[in-house]
Amino acid sequence: MRDPWVSVGGFVWMLTLLGARVTLCRETPDDFVTQWKSECHFLNGTERVRYVARWSYNQQQFLHFDSDTGVFKADDLLGVPSAESLNSQKEVLEQERAAVDTFCRHNYGILEDFMQRRRVKPKVKVSRSNNEDPNKPHMLICNVNGFYPYAITVHWYKNGQKDPGVLSSELLQNGDWTGQVMVMLETSINPGDTFVCEVLHVSLDEPLRRNWDSEESESAKSKKLTGIIGLVLGGLFFTVGGVMYWKNKKGRPQFHLQPEGVNFMG
């Protein structure tokens, strides 16, 4: 059984190739690179699997094996002797033909949980670009980040209508198995317009929507609200404090000046 991504057969074969280069060429170049790549194509889970192995010399592919044909094929003259040799070795052929099971399906079983079942919800932020030029159209930005898997759909709605005037960045892979994408809406913004960024993703039970208000952004709105509450509370405390101080000042002498003392009846 092979380790994930490492084929012992391919590695051994690579060493034979290097040996062949030395004997065949009188002038061996100082720098060269040989590459070997195995691909597993899962066309319907593990139901239908195609295995393709490719060998390259200085980035030019000269040989490949495809499980659909089951034999090695040369891609250029350099590959001809290798293909003939490998196809005549029953053991090598059998091993390569078994790779759909021993390599592809085997690794699928190991990695399936992480790659197929992993779901991470996107975070969505909506903002306006700082472009102040009045002659240019306005730009609203919907920043969708931190999601997995990478398939995602993002729409912009203006006043309830899907707006086709969108530009989208390439999907960026963050390197931690999450992705991000920016979808920009070029538009004109008039007072009262509503804008909604809608995100559809397999991790979400229902589409995620974020509003952008043409009057004021959400954060400005909440700041304003906080300011108003603060003002009201401040005013209240000031009034109560003032009243108490005034009452206290007026009442204090009455408590101190009781020349007759306390009279008891009886």
Ligand X SMILES: *[C@@H]1O[C@H](CO)[C@@H](O)[C@H](O)[C@H]1NC(C)=O
* Binding stretches for ligand X (CB under 6 A): 44-45, 47
The H or E element spanning position 253 is helix 218-256
Place of tokens 């250029």: 76
Angle at which helix 79-87 crosses helix 8-24, to 10 degrees, equals 130
Minimum distance from CB of 7 to ligand X (Å)?
A: 27
The residue among 33 and 43 lying less far from ligand X, judged by its C-beta, is: 43
Q: What are the DSSP calls for 41-89, one per residue? A: EESBTBSSEEEEEEEEETTEEEEEEETTTTEEEESSTTHHHHHHHHHT-
Cα separation, 181 vs 191, in Å, equals 28
Minimum distance from CB of 1 to ligand X (Å)?
A: 24
The residue among 50 and 128 lying less far from ligand X, judged by its C-beta, is: 50
The residue among 44 and 263 lying less far from ligand X, judged by its C-beta, is: 44
Measured from the Cβ of residue 199, the count of other Cβ atoms closer than 10 Å reads 22
Minimum distance from CB of 42 to ligand X (Å)?
A: 11
Residue 40 is which amino acid? C
Minimum distance from CB of 117 to ligand X (Å)?
A: 16
The residue among 88 and 116 lying less far from ligand X, judged by its C-beta, is: 116
